[in-house]
Amino acid sequence: MICLIPSYEPDERLLMLIEQLTAMDDMSVVIVDDGSGEGYAPMFQLAREAGCVVLTHAVNRGKGRALKTGFRFLKEIGTSGSIVCADSDGQHLPADIRRIADTISAYPGQIVLGSRHFTGEVPLRSRFGNAVTRKVFAFTTGTAIQDTQTGLRGYSVSMLDWLCEVPGDRFEYEMNMLLEAGPSGIGIHEVPIDTVYLDGNRSSHFRPLRDSFKIYMPIFAFSASSLLSAGIDIVLLMLLQWMTSNLLLAVVFARVGSSIFNFAMNRNYVFSRSSRARGVGKMAEVARSAPRYFTLVGVILLLNYALMHITHEQLGLPLLAAKLLTEGALFVFSFWAQRKFVY
């Protein structure tokens, strides 16, 4: 089995981990130096002398790119057995790495996650960050995962091609992997591990603002698409209501116009990764997703009219206020349904 370790500006904890891993008879270690620089060359030389394979990036290219460099290397040499990815900062115990490696054979073709349960003294940014990301992931995919940010993960060799194709070069790569697992038919299995934080997790190279933005990009993109579509819908609704004084007619034709725009935006920009993950051609993807999308449009249209009728015609709210309230209520349902059933 292989332990793949992406490493950027490591300290002596990497050497301690290497010593413990190489003591296991069936464990080989591959390290990717992600542009740490000349100052860290002696440490990586010690890793080579300990029997590790060390791959080197000339400049820092991000954790996702480092992992893919390792995956491509393993594919090229025709490795066999299981692959476990671990961080170099001492947060993953050798016993947990071994537990993940032993679990892979029982769940071939699935992502095996070493999931922390965040008990005891956990740094606030780690506890809060994982809680938020866990909820975002569940909302985005409909799948609940205890630890979406864990760096301890196991894979079968058969997954190497797919792992190299998942988009992302930095920390968003690991989130993209989880997002694309479902559409690719890849299961996710979690194994509980110990939660270890050293020095308040100061060794982490995670950049809260920049990397979080990339992780949450699917939500941002869907929100932007929905806001643009809602703007078109509102303008058409107000115009058609003024011209016809018929609420049902206005709601129906406004939704038809905005839904065509929304379908094009979501298929091409928001959920495009799902079709790439399945290897589906453009026309085939339109033929597959269009009937599902417009069926969903019909369902939402009925809900939209019902809520508009209640809030505007029965409760007497102004048309614009009723429309905004209705769209807000249907936003969450629409995102979940599109991610789960359409794309």
Please give the residue that has the higher pLDDT: either 72 or 133: 72
Per CATH, domain 2-215 is 3.90.550.10: yes
| Amino acid 205: pLDDT | 47
Report whether 223 contacts 262 (CB < 8 A). Answer: no
Report the distance separating Cα 163 and Cα 72, nearest Å: 9
Q: Which of 340, 343, 341, 342 is nearest to 139 (CA)?
A: 340
The CA distance from 3 to 29, in Å, is: 5
Domain spans, the chain: 2-215, 218-342
Distance CA 173, CA 179 (A): 10
- Side chain identity, residue 318: P
Can you give the pLDDT at residue 225?
76
pLDDT band for position 43 (cuts 50, 70, 90):
very high
Q: How confident is the model at residue 74 (pLDDT cuts 50, 70, 90)?
A: very high
Dihedral of the alpha carbons of 208, 209, 215, 217, in degrees to the nearest 10: 170
Summarised one tens digit per residue, pLDDT across range 266-304 is 767 665 554 444 454 556 656 767 788 778 878 888 888
Q: Is the pLDDT of residue 49 over 90?
A: yes
Q: What is the DSSP string of 21-52?
A: HHTSTT-EEEEEEES--GGGHHHHHHHHHTT-
C-alpha to C-alpha distance for 216 and 136, rounded to whole angstroms: 8
Confidence (pLDDT) at 117: 72
pLDDT at 46: 96
**Pairing assessment for the beta strands 2-7 and 111-115 based on DSSP bridges:** unpaired
Residue 113: closest CA among 147, 140, 144: 147
pLDDT tens profile 226-267? 778 878 988 998 899 889 888 888 888 887 888 888 777 776
Q: pLDDT tens, 157-215?
A: 999 999 999 888 887 888 888 878 887 889 999 999 886 655 544 445 445 555 555 55
Tokens of 213: 């933005």
Rounded to the nearest integer, the mean pLDDT of the chain is 82
Give per-residue pLDDT as tens, 114-173. 998 755 555 555 556 667 777 777 766 678 888 888 899 999 999 999 999 988 888 788
CB contact burial 157-190 (16+ within 10 A = b; e otherwise)? bebbebbeebebebbbbbbbbbbbbbbbebebeb
pLDDT at 218: 62
Number of Cβ within 10 Å of residue 278's Cβ equals 16
